């Protein structure tokens, strides 16, 4: 017999918020039925109007805070209530770190059904504001005016953003200059409904010493008034080193296309993580929080526990940033990545840093790793940093079949991490410790590092 849902759409209920959900929303219960409430915080008693009802949960709108959390603060950003870029500005930074750790604990216990694993306090940022070195904002028109900024929560409505509090100042400068450029030069703006117009996105990248790159993403191969745009940017953007055009002609939500043209300046800008330096191109993957990336990579190096004699495999190596950190203390590191341009960047990064004990391979880790094993490559340590979907069981079985002493699992999604940890436990690899790192302050995201050890070595 189907259980009757105890809440109704449009009705109001008093709810006590118990925890935070994965997207930063408050989670409570009405008549023992789970309700997600955007903007509510743990410990608060709130009045909620139910907007959406599903079989196992409901979503509600915060109508009134009846009892306020002592960790509630006023958001620093004036457009925070509308913008979808941040989710936790209304929570003190101390509170953010506490609840991000709790998100990891909950995932391990409820999804992984694992116990006895220590989740350490989150390594917070020294500066939780103005940290993003990369910005990619859509361009649109609203009430006859040019708007450039983040999408509103849950929509493609662009919120005009002039002073984003999590972007580096150079990126805010780029946005504001480009808004003026578009209006002055009457650059046609892309209309995603009609698939007409030219300018789709403005991408900004800020490297070492504030050096700036501007990438204009267009729906057409031609960029009208390119010379005037370049002249305007050179006059108004301090430390500008590169202006590029990326061509994205497809009718989809993918931001960058495959072709990029250098319009002025250099094709790359420099940046640095720890002792290593990197050349950042328009399409390079590079951690958006440079300072916290150094914290993350140093911890990965610690968990790898290298003495200079080990062979290491870095699966999903991207542009080789973690690979190069590991290479500083390993005998040899193999980096595997399915995206060829990323491997090209990785090889260049190795050359630029004069690191010679790395081997970068293009391909699917599931196929390449058994091949390496048959070629007598026996890793002592495997490091993996998969996308949010985590690893497939085939990939995890491949890891275990190579019998490494340790697996260092870097994750941006506690839920898929917990799932994969549980599966690795059945393959003989046990997690003893998880270190969360706050790579994205003011947002609901949390990065983690997990050290897994082969059972017979415990």
- Tokens 């060829």, residue? 340
Q: Whole-angstrom distance between the N-terminal and C-terminal Cα of the chain? A: 48
Which residues participate in catalysis according to the annotation?
412
Q: Which fold has domain 105-125+289-457?
A: Rossmann fold (3.40.50)
Query: DSSP 3-state assignment of 344?
Result: helix
Task: Quote the pTM value.
Answer: 0.92
pLDDT for 284 equals 86
pLDDT in tens, 387-421: 999 999 999 999 999 999 999 999 999 999 999 99
Domain boundary assignment for the chain: 12-67, 105-125+289-457, 134-273
CA-based nearest residue to 65, from 44, 89, 86: 44
314 bridge partner residues: 335, 383
Task: Name the strand (E) or helix (H) holding 335.
Answer: strand 332-337
pLDDT for 368 equals 92
User: Mean pLDDT, 10 residues at a time, over the chain (458 residues)?
Assistant: 80 96 94 94 97 94 97 96 93 98 96 96 97 97 93 89 96 98 96 94 96 98 97 97 97 93 96 93 91 96 96 94 96 94 92 97 91 90 95 93 96 97 97 96 97 94
Asked whether this chain's domains 105-125+289-457 and 134-273 adopt the same fold, the reply is: no
pLDDT for 254 equals 93
Tokens of 29: 């219960």
Q: Which fold has domain 134-273?
A: OB fold (Dihydrolipoamide Acetyltransferase, E2P) (2.40.50)
The CA dihedral of 20, 126, 215, 237, to the nearest 10 degrees, is 130
Query: DSSP 3-state assignment of 111?
Result: helix
pLDDT for 103 equals 96
8 Å CB contact between 285 and 260: no
Domain 12-67, what architecture? Beta Barrel (2.40)
Tokens of 149: 């900024």
């Amino acid at each position: 017999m189907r259980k009757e849902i105890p809440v109704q759409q449009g009705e109001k209920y008093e709810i006590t918020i118990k925890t935070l959900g994965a997207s930063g929303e408050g989670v409570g219960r009405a008549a023992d039925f789970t309700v997600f409430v955007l903007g509510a915080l743990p410990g608060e008693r709130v009045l909620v109007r139910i907007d959406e009802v599903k079989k196992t949960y409901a979503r509600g709108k915060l109508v009134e805070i009846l009892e306020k959390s002592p960790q509630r603060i006023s958001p620093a950003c004036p457009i925070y209530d509308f913008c979808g870029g941040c989710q936790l500005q209304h929570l003190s930074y101390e509170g953010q770190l506490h609840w991000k750790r709790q998100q990891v604990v909950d995932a391990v216990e409820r999804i992984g059904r694992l116990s006895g694993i220590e989740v350490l306090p989150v390594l917070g940022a020294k500066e939780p504001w103005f940290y993003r070195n990369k910005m990619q904002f859509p361009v649109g028109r609203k009430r006859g005016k040019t708007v450039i900024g983040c999408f509103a929560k849950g929509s493609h409505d662009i919120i005009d953003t002039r002073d984003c509090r999590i972007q580096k100042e150079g990126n805010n400068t780029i946005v504001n200059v480009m808004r003026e450029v578009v209006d002055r030069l009457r650059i046609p703006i892309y209309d995603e409904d009609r698939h007409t117009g030219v300018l789709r996105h403005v991408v900004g990248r800020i490297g070492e010493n504030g050096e700036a790159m501007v990438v204009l993403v267009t729906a057409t191969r031609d960029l009208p008034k390119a010379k005037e745009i370049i002249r305007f940017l050179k006059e108004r953007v301090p430390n500008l080193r590169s202006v590029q055009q990326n061509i994205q002609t497809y009718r989809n939500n993918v931001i960058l296309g495959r072709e990029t043209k250098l319009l002025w300046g250099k094709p790359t800008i420099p940046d640095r993580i720890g002792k290593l330096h990197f050349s950042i191109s328009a399409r390079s993957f590079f951690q958006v929080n440079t300072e916290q990336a150094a914290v993350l990579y140093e911890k990965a190096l610690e968990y790898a526990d290298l003495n200079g004699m080990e062979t290491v495999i870095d699966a999903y190596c991207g542009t080789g940033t973690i690979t190069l950190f590991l290479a500083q203390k390993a005998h040899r590191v193999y980096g595997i990545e399915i995206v060829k341009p990323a491997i090209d960047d990785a090889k260049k990064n190795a050359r630029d840093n004069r690191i010679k004990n790395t081997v970068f391979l293009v391909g699917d880790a599931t196929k390449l790793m058994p091949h390496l094993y048959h070629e007598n490559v026996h890793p002592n340590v495997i490091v993996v940093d998969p996308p949010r979907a985590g690893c497939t069981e085939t990939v995890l079985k491949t890891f275990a079949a190579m019998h490494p002493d340790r697996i260092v699992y870097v994750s941006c999604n506690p839920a898929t991490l917990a799932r994969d940890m549980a599966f690795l436990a059945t393959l003989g690899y046990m997690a003893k410790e998880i270190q969360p790192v706050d790579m994205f302050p003011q947002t609901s995201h949390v990065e983690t590092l997990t050290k897994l050890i082969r059972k017979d070595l415990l």
